[in-house]
Amino acid sequence: MAERARRAHRVAVTGVAARTAFGRDGAALLADGFAGTPAFAPVTRFDTAGRRTTTAATLPGDPVLADELVGAIEDAVVGTGVTTRAGVPLLLAAHADAGNAALAAEVAARTGFAGPARTYTGACVAATSALADAATLIATGRAERVVVAAGYLVEPSTFALFDAGRALSRDGRVRPFSAGRQGMLLGDGVAAVVLESASPLGIGAGGIGTVLASVAVDPGVPVDVAVRESPRAARPLAWLAGWARSGDAYHVCKPKPDGTGLARAITGALDRADVAPPEVGYVNANGTGTAFNDAAEVAALRLAGLGAVPTSSTKSVHGHALEASGLVEFVVTVLALGGGTLPVNSGYLGADPDCAIDVITGPRRAEPAYALTVNAAFGGANTALLLGAA
């Protein structure tokens, strides 16, 4: 795929923040969550009488989505190269709702970023689709910086829907890739990520001219990269080296069992970065803990040559944040690249022959050069994002 590559702006991840049931600053997520301690507890935010499941991973009290989004954005921006906010695009992801335009306007007004053109609503790949578009905006020179934020807070309607759909685990745990897994549990998740072009960052050992990397953009679209001096330098936390999306063309809500659709997204992300499967040291899986999802995902990982790569689904500790899940897991993957410890796949009871991959069931130290985060959604929508260590 290297011959397809066009020299383009390299995409740096310079700011991340995630608010989950572990708290608002990410410290407990990194400590307890990475160790495999789950944050699930009985729901107190609303009445769960009559539901098959009464458990989720929630922040205390009844937080307000706009407040949490604003807070996460402000947390993520600290230390980045973002100075003047008015021209920096903000992309949001949230549940499809008639109030999304008002939510987007409020978050933009309170943070000062350019009003979101849209809120991504595509279920469990909403946030990662926003990240993919943000990366394209930067790689093709359409924007120097983009802020992506996403939020889901556990509320009664979605809880009732997933309960009615028998998608929720009844034993209080999410057990991705494990024998005996029963399904998913919902979790609060609000996250924000700042992506910046390498050229305004002004980073790179050899000076400004060396920060251009062979990030492959489309061969049919000429990219004439402008290299200019930087106003300031921000230290990247990681590189967003590759990204790709695909569709299963299979079913309204089930993933294609042979994994071929998701495998195309994974291979596309690796190809864009010109990275071979053995170079990937960690996979943050979609891993919902449902029988058919996990088996299809394993088939995809194996097809893409990643069957031996250490893999975990951190939904096993922070729950499924639906439209925001991909952004929470992107933040987790950035932290895994820089922390020296891979997150544990919690709740594992034993091997399932349909999930023959290297599941991280206990503490494991590693410093991967590349880590992949994978998401899949209703409608057969798949995303894969490849992060490189800074």
Partner 1 sequence: MSATLSPGQVTSPVLDRVVLAEAHWPASPADTPGSLPAIAGFVLSAFNPLVVEVAERCLRAHFGPPPAGRDGDRTAIVLASVRGDVTTADAVAAAVAAGTRVPPLLFFQSNPNAVLGHVAARWGLAGPVVCASPATEPGTDALACADLLFAAGEADRALVIVADLATGRGDNDQAVARLVTARGRA
Rule CB under 8 A: say whether 164 interacts with partner 1.
yes
Give the footprint of partner 1 on residues 228-247 (CB under 8 A).
228-231, 243-247
Largest CA distance in the chain: 63
Give the footprint of partner 1 on residues 119-158 (CB under 8 A).
119-123, 125-126, 129, 132-133, 135-137, 139-145, 156-158
Rule CB under 8 A: say whether 162 interacts with partner 1.
yes
Residues 6+ apart with CB under 8 A from 108: 90, 114, 115, 116
To partner 1, the closest distance from the beta carbon of 267 in angstroms equals 13
| Residue 120, Cβ density class (10 Å: 0-12 exposed, 13-18 middle, ≥19 buried) | buried
CB atoms within 10 A of CB 263: 23
Secondary structure letter of residue 184 according to DSSP:
B
Cβ atoms of 178 and 291 within 8 Å: the answer is no
To partner 1, the closest distance from the beta carbon of 161 in angstroms equals 5
Rule CB under 8 A: say whether 216 interacts with partner 1.
yes
Give the footprint of partner 1 on residues 271-310 (CB under 8 A).
272
Rule CB under 8 A: say whether 348 interacts with partner 1.
no
To partner 1, the closest distance from the beta carbon of 253 in angstroms equals 4
Rule CB under 8 A: say whether 79 interacts with partner 1.
no
Rule CB under 8 A: say whether 205 interacts with partner 1.
no
Rule CB under 8 A: say whether 371 interacts with partner 1.
no
Give the footprint of partner 1 on residues 81-120 (CB under 8 A).
81-89, 95-98, 100-101, 104-105, 115-120
To partner 1, the closest distance from the beta carbon of 199 in angstroms equals 10
What is the chain's Cα-based Rg?
Answer: 19
Nearest-angstrom CA–CA distance, 170 and 271 = 40
CB atoms within 10 A of CB 249: 10
Nearest-angstrom CA–CA distance, 171 and 184 = 10
To partner 1, the closest distance from the beta carbon of 115 in angstroms equals 6
